[in-house]
Amino acid sequence: MGAAGSKLEKALGDQFPEGERYFGLENFGNTCYCNSVLQALYFCVPFREQLLEYYSNNKSPADADENLLTCLADLFTQISSQKRKTGVIAPKRFVQRLRKQNEIFRSFMHQDAHEFLNYLLNELVDILEKEARASKSDQESSSPSEKISNGPNNMSANGPQKEPIVTWVHKNFQGILTNETRCLRCETVTARDETFLDLSLDIEQNSSITSCLKNFSSTETLNAEDKFFCDKCCSLQEAQKRMKIKKPPHILVIHLKRFKFIEQLGRYKKLSYRVVFPLELRLSNTVEDADTEYSLFAVVVHVGSGPNHGHYVSLVKSHNHWLFFDDENVEMIEESAVQTFFGAAQEYSSNTDHGYILFYERLVC
Amino acid sequence: MMNTAGSNTMMSSASASGNNAQSPGLKTYFKTPEGKYKLQYEKTHPSGLLHYGHGKTVTQVTLAHLKDKPVQTQSQSSSSLGVNSGVRSAAARFLGGGNGSRALSFVGGNGGSKSVTGASSRIGSLGASSSNNVVGSSNFDGKGTYLVFNVGDAIFISDLNSQDKDPIKSIHFGNSNPVCHAFDPDAKDGHDLLIGLNTGDVYSVALRQQLQEVGKKLVGAQHYNKDGSINTSRCTCITWVPNGDGTFIVGHADGNMYVYEKSKDGSGDPSFPVIKDQTQFSVAHARYSKNPVARWHICQGSINSVAFSTDGVFMATVGRDGYLRVFDYKNEQLICGGKSYYGALLCCAWSMDGKYILTGGEDDLVQVWSMEDRKVVAWGEGHNSWVSGVAFDSYWSAPNSDGTGENVVYRFGSVGQDTRLLLWDLEMGELVVPVRRPSGGSPTFSTGSQSSHWDSACPVGTLRPAPSMRDVPKLSPLVAHRIHTEPLSGLIFTQESILTVSREGHIKIWMRPGFAESQSSNSDPLLSTSLKEKPSISGKVIGSSCKQ
């Protein structure tokens, strides 16, 4: 590992970014799902900075209130304050805490990186909201904050009864979708806003993220079994529904639904489809034609042919260099190497390294 | 027709069995308003030879029309185009997507039609087709039309007009991969084929000489940028300069482009100054009269494709930074350009009259750039993935065009990583510009006042930022067909056909409606090709060819 570190330092030479640290993360038995996501989050600079700031403001002496947030903050602080520029760190406390807290992640079975990211972000939000409410003293009832779940399909609407608390996690990751439903009888359009921390997209063979986003926002007709209850007509009606992005998030996280439940097989199958993703992206499925531009800065890659086994690695862009994180190992890669993680153009292929979660950051113009 | 029946059965059985599979049966034809394009031939490389590095390279195709050595048969072409026509007549090329790209000389292919005589339209590519078809595959005597394409570490050469699926010749490069190539049918001194490698090395050779040799090595080559002595980054595109008298240019992945003259010494002294500002366009000339004679620093990141206008006056480049740039080649000056909606641009091509440039890229859009307006005038929406090849169909004329030229219609095609071919009609009078021009008046390119307005808005040498989605008129494709099972890398229009190629080196030749009929006496192309799928490549063919 020392050798690997020095190799990376040599590769970067005098281009090694001032103050930046590139540390591999030790694997504690199938924790690559966790390591790959942690690296992507670490190199999400606004998120990292706010987490480090949080840590310096909230250094709690008592280990008693240890939670996932403090463990994560502790880990990031540990990385960023290393004397050496490269090396390996063991995210031991964080993984222990994670396993203690959620039995899903306790086993040594293969875990899903997206599920982990989802869980982690919601957990952070919960903790921050609780703290915010507590510090607001007791003007509000101490009901536990409503969990904001992730993904467009199971999102809770903004509860009107409670003033939503906007934490710095929200400020980074949260966007708002608007779900427009037009009753085909009375033509009334009902719009319902939903928040999201990431977008889960259905994928097709030999398509692009642009196309998957378009499909996500395409008009869908609700009929037959799936009719819409129109408040105006007071009955189930056929309707047209479409999702648009009302507020694009600062950090756009796109999850490719590569693990699909195949009913005939009674199990999940990995879709190795080739889905190309550009290094720059604009969202055109927005409510206002905002043309918000994003730049890709991290990719969590699933390696392997099936859903129940395999490996996770991540690609990260830092100071205009692309780096490849594989648990303990960190390497420099060419920008053009990102293209090798698009997927397989045909079903039976030796290519098993596929982009799974994409992290785009909004560019300020 | 037996032919059709045969292909129909094949199709239906394939689609039935493949219903839930990823690649439901592909049809052996596709329909357009003017009729059916039928799959005539498929060309590929021996599948047993998936060599080193395969998959890292993207296949491109160059169409090479080799004339009779002693000038006689093709006299029409020499008279109408002359030696100077360079690239323009036959070398249609393809370019590939992904990292690299291409486009070029196809401009040339279309160029011939500029002088609208019957003779010139014939020149391009398929001059010898009918005779070759009749005789069969194995009797080429040097002249003919060939497909030059790269796969892995090899260059393959196929006879366009034979039914043989396998190439007649392969040239292997060992540890490096050829990634781009170009052909000049009117080259002097024999060297007509250029090959650029992923190592940055460049070769010029005589195509005929390669066909005459039995071995698997390049013969009689001139070697430039040997072992990366001038530039170590990957070659991305290569093309002859039209009317350039043996001048060619090579684009590299680091944003530099080099100008070579084949008459000059190949072992150059890399005496170019250090590039001071990577973000600025600059040109440096060699201090001595050696190759390369000039270096153009064009952009940061890869130059993905280069295309010359038919007359050789303008050169268009597209690259990783998403910009189309148009240069006055002789004066080494940036004229205009603009950014994609987002992401890299991968390919570009000129209309034969030099008025429009097509680009395609990572925003899934086909972009139409007007030289007169110096801006994007239309976005073609219809691909579900990156657009890797674009080309105008210079052989097409609108069925109802009355020749007044008032309402010019252009036909063009695009292919993408979505495995599909899209055909488009561009009718300038029909474009609706949503916001900018609320006051009637057709936004045709002929309005003088408008172009002066845009001149002032966009001084020479400035690049336009990415337009907003709502500002650009949209085009819809005339037809969209899934024609391959793999992502595509390029297309070429010839007088008789459309050629499409996949990134992995599978080429399909689709006969145009009229031509397909006349070919129907042949047996089903799919059947025949699949039956003779033997990996015996060159041996016997080469043997019989060496009759001189």
B334 near B257, Cβ under 8 Å?
A: no
Helices (H) and strands (E) in chain A, counts: 8, 20
Any domain includes B6: no
Residue B357: closest CA among B299, B316, B394, B322: B316
**CA triple B16-B17-B19, angle to 5 deg:** 65
Any domain includes B514: yes
Mean pLDDT to the nearest integer, A14-42: 93
Alpha helices in chain A (DSSP H): 2-12, 32-42, 45-57, 68-80, 92-101, 113-135, 168-173, 209-216
Strands B356-361 and A199-201: unpaired
Any domain includes B207: yes
Of A207, A293, A336, the CB nearest to B385: A207
Summarize pLDDT for A240-286 with one digit per residue, the tens: 999 999 999 999 999 999 998 888 888 888 999 999 999 999 998 77
Chains A, B: CB pairs < 8 Å: 81
Mean pLDDT to the nearest integer, A8-23: 91
Find, in chain B, the residue whose alpha carbon is nearest to that of A349.
B55
Higher pLDDT, B281 or B429: B281
d(CA B224, CA B194): 10
B251 near B238, Cβ under 8 Å?
A: yes
B491 near B391, Cβ under 8 Å?
A: yes
Summarize pLDDT for B147-201 with one digit per residue, the tens: 999 999 999 999 998 889 999 999 999 889 999 999 998 887 789 999 999 999 9
Find, in chain B, the residue whose alpha carbon is nearest to that of A214.
B384
Q: Do A336 and B302 touch (CB under 8 A)?
A: yes
Residue A322: closest CA among A339, A344, A343: A339
Q: Provide the CATH number for the domain around residue B294.
A: 2.130.10.10
A273 near A286, Cβ under 8 Å?
A: no
Q: How many domains does chain B have?
A: 1
Summarize pLDDT for B292-310 with one digit per residue, the tens: 999 999 999 999 999 999 9
Of A210, A289, A345, the CB nearest to B468: A289
Give me the pLDDT at residue B210, please: 94
Give me the pLDDT at residue B540, please: 33
Mean pLDDT to the nearest integer, B455-479: 85
Give me the pLDDT at residue B214, please: 87
Q: What are phi and psi of B526, to 5 degrees?
A: -65, -45
Any domain includes A260: yes
User: Percent of chain A at pLDDT above 90?
Assistant: 62
On the CB side of A1, how many CA atoms lie within 13 Å of its CA? 17
Give me the pLDDT at residue B102, please: 38
Mean pLDDT to the nearest integer, A313-330: 96
Find, in chain B, the residue whose alpha carbon is nearest to that of A207.
B385
d(CA B448, CA B72): 47
d(CA A35, CA A43): 12
At residue A306 the predicted structure's pLDDT band, cuts being 50, 70 and 90, is confident
B390 near B490, Cβ under 8 Å?
A: no
Any domain includes B2: no
Q: How many domains does chain A have?
A: 1
Summarize pLDDT for A154-166 with one digit per residue, the tens: 444 444 456 678 8
Give me the pLDDT at residue B49, please: 53
d(CA B258, CA B295): 5
Q: Which of A208, A265, A281, A285 to substitute to test the interface with B, most B CBs within 10 Å?
A: A208
Q: Which residues of B touch A280 (CB under 8 A)?
A: 322, 342-343, 362
DSSP state string for B71-133:
S-TTHHHHHHHTGGGGGGTT-EE----TT-----THHHHHHGGGS--HHHHHHSS-TTHHHHH
Whether residue B115 has pLDDT greater than 70 = no
Which of A127-136, B290-299, B491-500 is the least confident region? A127-136
Token readout for A327 is 């648990």
Strands B463-464 and B387-392: unpaired
B328-360 b/e with 16+ CB inside 10 Å = b? Answer: ebeeeebbbbbbbbbbbbbbbbbbbbbbbbbbb
Any domain includes B190: yes
Give me the pLDDT at residue B517, please: 53
Look at chain A and count its residues. 365
d(CA B359, CA B391): 9
Any domain includes B530: yes
At residue B67 the predicted structure's pLDDT band, cuts being 50, 70 and 90, is confident
Give me the pLDDT at residue B50, please: 54
At residue B16 the predicted structure's pLDDT band, cuts being 50, 70 and 90, is very low
Summarize pLDDT for B17-51 with one digit per residue, the tens: 333 334 457 899 999 999 999 999 999 988 655 54
A207 near B418, Cβ under 8 Å?
A: yes
Give me the pLDDT at residue A225, please: 87
Q: Which residues of A touch B386 (CB under 8 A)?
A: 208, 276, 278
Give me the pLDDT at residue A351, please: 82
Summarize pLDDT for B201-259 with one digit per residue, the tens: 999 999 999 999 888 999 999 999 998 899 999 999 999 999 999 999 999 999 999 99
Any domain includes A141: no
Summarize pLDDT for B495-530 with one digit per residue, the tens: 999 999 999 999 999 999 988 555 444 444 443 333
Domain extent for A268: 2-135+146-362
B500 near B508, Cβ under 8 Å?
A: yes
Q: Do B385 and A208 touch (CB under 8 A)?
A: yes
**Chain A nearest C-alpha distance from B492 (Å):** 22
Any domain includes A103: yes
Residue positions of A annotated with a catalytic role: 32, 311
Q: Which of A264, A276, A322, A349 to substitute to test the interface with B, most B CBs within 10 Å?
A: A276
Higher pLDDT, B103 or B30: B30
Any domain includes A164: yes
Whether residue B454 has pLDDT greater than 80 = no
Give me the pLDDT at residue B172, please: 94
d(CA A184, CA A207): 31
B58 near B506, Cβ under 8 Å?
A: no
d(CA B181, CA B301): 21
Give me the pLDDT at residue B399, please: 67
Give me the pLDDT at residue A365, please: 60
Give me the pLDDT at residue A134, please: 85
Which of B53-67, B304-318, B394-408, B428-442 is the least confident region? B428-442
Q: Do B503 and A207 touch (CB under 8 A)?
A: no
B489 near B95, Cβ under 8 Å?
A: yes
Q: Do A280 and B253 touch (CB under 8 A)?
A: no
Q: Which residues of A touch B435 (CB under 8 A)?
A: none
Whether residue B130 has pLDDT greater than 70 = no
Domain extent for B362: 26-71+85-268+279-398+407-436+443-539
DSSP state string for B20-60:
SSSSPPPPSEEEETTEEEEEEEEE---TT---TTTTTS---
Give me the pLDDT at residue B1, please: 35
Q: Please report, for residues B56, B99, B279, B340, the alpha-carbon distance to residue A336 in angstroms, rounded to integers and kept in the order given.
A: 11, 7, 20, 19
Any domain includes A140: no
Token readout for A174 is 């949260």
Helix (H, G, I), strand (E, B) or coil at B349: strand
User: Percent of chain B at pLDDT above 90?
Assistant: 54
Whether residue B447 has pLDDT greater than 80 = no
**Chain A nearest C-alpha distance from B412 (Å):** 22
Angle between helical axes of A68-80 and A92-101 (0-180°, round to 10) = 170
d(CA B97, CA B362): 10
Mean residue pLDDT across chain B: 76
Q: Do A206 and B55 touch (CB under 8 A)?
A: no
Please indicate if any CB of chain A lies within 8 Å of the CB of B367. no
Residue A38: closest CA among A113, A129, A122: A113
Helix (H, G, I), strand (E, B) or coil at B500: strand
User: Looking up tokens 């073609």, which residue turns up?
Assistant: B380
Q: Please report, for residues A182, A214, B135, B137, B141, the alpha-carbon distance to residue B131 in angstroms, rounded to integers and kept in the order given.
A: 63, 49, 6, 11, 12
Helix (H, G, I), strand (E, B) or coil at B11: helix
Q: Provide the CATH number for the domain around residue A358.
A: 3.90.70.10
User: Percent of chain B at pLDDT above 70?
Assistant: 66
At residue A329 the predicted structure's pLDDT band, cuts being 50, 70 and 90, is very high
d(CA A21, CA A43): 10
d(CA B88, CA B68): 18
Of A278, A345, A351, the CB nearest to B362: A278
Per-residue 3-state assignment (H helix, E strand, C coil) for B382-403: CCCCCEEEEEECCCCCCCCCCC
Classify residue A154 as exposed, middle or buried by CB count within 10 Å of its CB (0-12, 13-18, 19+): exposed
Find, in chain B, the residue whose alpha carbon is nearest to that of A276.
B385
Any domain includes B381: yes
Mean pLDDT to the nearest integer, A115-133: 93
